[in-house]
C-alpha cells in the first residue's frame, strides 16, 4: 500500500508526492471525492481511498505552522 499527498488536480489526474517527495501522476478514474491536500492510500490492487485521519492531522500541522 502506498500513501501519497495530493498536491494538485489536473484534468483526470491527481498530482501527488510521497514521504520522500517523489512525484506521481495518478489517473483519477472512479475515485472518491478527492481535494488538494488530501492524503490518499493506493492499495496493491489499485484502489484509491482518502485517509481522512491522516488528512486532518496534516492540515492541523500546516495550520499550526502558519500560526507560529
| Ranges of each domain in the chain | 2-67
Q: Give the residue carrying C-alpha cell 489499485.
A: 46
What's the half-sphere exposure (Cβ side, CA atoms, 13 Å) at 59?
13
Closest CA to 37 of 54, 49, 21: 54
CATH of 2-67, one of 3.30.1330, 2.40.50, 1.10.3470, 3.40.50: 2.40.50
9-66 confidence digits (pLDDT tens): 998 899 999 999 999 999 987 776 899 999 999 999 989 999 999 999 988 877 667 7
Alpha helices in the chain (DSSP H): 52-67
Backbone angles phi, psi at 4, to 5 degrees: -135, 155
**10 Cα distance to chain centroid:** 13
pTM: 0.82
Amino acid at each position: 500500500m502506498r500513501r501519497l499527498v495530493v498536491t494538485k488536480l489536473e484534468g483526470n489526474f491527481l498530482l501527488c508526492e510521497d514521504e520522500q517527495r517523489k512525484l506521481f501522476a495518478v489517473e483519477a478514474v472512479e475515485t472518491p471525492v478527492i481535494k488538494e491536500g488530501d492524503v490518499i492510500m493506493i492499495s496493491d490492487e489499485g484502489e484509491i481511498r482518502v485517509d481522512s485521519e491522516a488528512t486532518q492531522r496534516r492540515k492541523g500541522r500546516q495550520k499550526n505552522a502558519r500560526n507560529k
